[in-house]
Amino acid sequence: MTLCRQLFITGIPASGKSYLAKKLAEKTGGVVVLLDELREELAKKNEVYKKWTNFYWDKDEAIYYQNTPPDQLWGDLVRQSEGLWPGFMERIDSYRNETRPVIFECVNILPHLARRDIKFPGVCLIGKSYEEILSRNKKDPRWGKTQELQEMEAREFFFVERPRYQAEAEKYGYAVFLGADDAFDAAYNLLMKSFNE
182 contacts: CB under 8 Å, gap ≥ 6: none
Residue 99 backbone dihedrals phi, psi, to 5 degrees:
-85, -20
Per-residue pLDDT tens listing for the chain (197 residues): 444 799 999 999 999 999 999 999 999 999 999 998 899 899 998 898 999 999 998 899 999 999 999 999 999 999 999 999 999 999 999 999 999 999 999 999 999 999 999 999 999 999 999 999 999 999 887 777 899 999 999 999 999 999 999 999 999 999 999 999 999 999 999 998 865 44
Q: Global pTM?
A: 0.93
Instruction: Quote the pLDDT of residue 2.
Output: 44
Q: By CB neighbour count within 10 A (0-12 exposed, 13-18 middle, 19+ buried), where does 128 fall?
A: middle
Instruction: Quote the pLDDT of residue 197.
Output: 46
Fold of 6-196: Rossmann fold (3.40.50)
Q: By CB neighbour count within 10 A (0-12 exposed, 13-18 middle, 19+ buried), where does 13 fall?
A: buried
Phi-psi region of 14 (alpha: psi -120 to 50; beta: other; left: phi over 0): left
Spans of all domains in the chain: 6-196
